[in-house]
Amino acid sequence: MAAIAQALDGLAGRDAGPAARPLAPARQAAAGGEPAWVRRTLVGLALAFLALFLFVPLAVVFVQAFAKGLDVYRAALGESDALAALRLTLLAAGISVPLNLVFGVAAAWAIAKFDFRGKSVLLALVDLPFSVSPVIAGLVYMLVFGLQGWCGAWLRDHDVRVVFAVPGIVLATVFVTVPFIARELIPLMQAQGQEQEEAARVLGASGWQILWRVTLPNVKWALLYGVILCNARAMGEFGAVSVVSGHIRGRTDTLPLHIEILYNDYQFAAAFAVASLLAALALVTLVLKLIVERRANASPVPESGHEH
């Protein structure tokens, strides 16, 4: 933007000749480096975009949810299938978030603090769920664990249900949420380096003591931030879960799937009522994220060793 403004000033100066030049610095000073109309247009565009694509839909969700009155809203949320979906969503998030917490910390630790063969492969694998469509992730689990899949016969013989059951939903959720915590930690841990860990090691701390007393306290805000994002995604995931769920109402429907079913049944008010739950979760997530960011910025920067 600054470059554009400079270019504009430059053009003005060249085209209009010496007479126009004294104007340029004055205009720049008044606009703080950018011509006012550029700033106003850009801010206006951004706000209009956000309003149109983010705020209006969110508002519509709540308006529609209460369109048929509070009773319909309550009935939609109190219905047994909706409660079952809520329970399943909480269960899937409750399993996948702690799993990813452990995996994320382990992966970030390995990648940031050690050099080993295949490090870049591990890093790429962590990012895989970001680059693969969730539907494909779901299909892969179908291929492996489905009745016609590689392990299908064995699983059927041992009476284990993975797809069209809770384990499949948890697996799919874990898959799509793998990167959130690891990705949050890796850059921070890389920036912090290993000096504090080395200092702890020389002082006689064991690996566990170093992890609990030095490494984790240094990344606690990033960790919390990752957990919040991971949880939001775990509860909101649709594509991958949709493929492996089988849509058995009251048994393998999560909240997003339940919303789709209600919508397809023309139960718009009920669909939006349940959707308002997820939307509320998103708002809570946003607020938590803001709080964590504030705290993280307010707390002292851990000794990274690069200041004087």
Partner 1 sequence: MSIEVRNLTKRYGDLAVCNNLSLEVADGELVALLGPSGSGKTTLLRIIAGLDVPDAGSVLFHGEDATRTPVRDRNVGFVFQHYALFGHMTVAANIAFGLRVRPRATRPSERAIAAKVAELLELVQLDGLADRHPHQLSGGQRQRVALARALAVEPKLLLLDEPFGALDARVRKELRRWLRRLHDEMHVTSVFVTHDQDEAMEVADRVVVLHQGRIEQQGAPHELCDHPATPFVRQFLGDADLPPTPRRVARFVAG
Q: Kindly list the residues in this chain that would bind partner 1 in the complex (CB under 8 A).
A: 195-196, 198-206, 209, 213-214, 217-218, 300-306, 308
- Pair of tokens at residue 25: 């610095």
Smallest distance, Å, CB 212 to partner 1? 10
Residue type present at position 94: G
Smallest distance, Å, CB 210 to partner 1? 9
Beta-carbon contacts of 259 under 8 Å, excluding residues fewer than 6 positions away, are 271, 274, 275, 278
Are 168 and 240 contacting, i.e. CB atoms less than 8 angstroms apart?
Answer: no
| Nearest residue (CB) to partner 1, 190 versus 304 | 304
| Nearest residue (CB) to partner 1, 213 versus 249 | 213
Smallest distance, Å, CB 202 to partner 1? 4
Burial per residue of 75-88, b for 16 or more beta-carbon CB atoms within 10 angstroms, e otherwise: ebbebebbebbbeb
Beta-carbon contacts of 232 under 8 Å, excluding residues fewer than 6 positions away, are 281, 282, 285
| Nearest residue (CB) to partner 1, 200 versus 257 | 200
Smallest distance, Å, CB 132 to partner 1? 36
Burial per residue of 7-25, b for 16 or more beta-carbon CB atoms within 10 angstroms, e otherwise: eebeeebeeeeeeeeeebe
Smallest distance, Å, CB 104 to partner 1? 20
| Nearest residue (CB) to partner 1, 117 versus 306 | 306
CA distance 288 to 282: 10
Smallest distance, Å, CB 215 to partner 1? 10
CA distance 182 to 17: 56
| Nearest residue (CB) to partner 1, 44 versus 217 | 217
| Nearest residue (CB) to partner 1, 3 versus 203 | 203
CA distance 261 to 37: 48
Helix, strand or coil for residue 144? Answer: helix
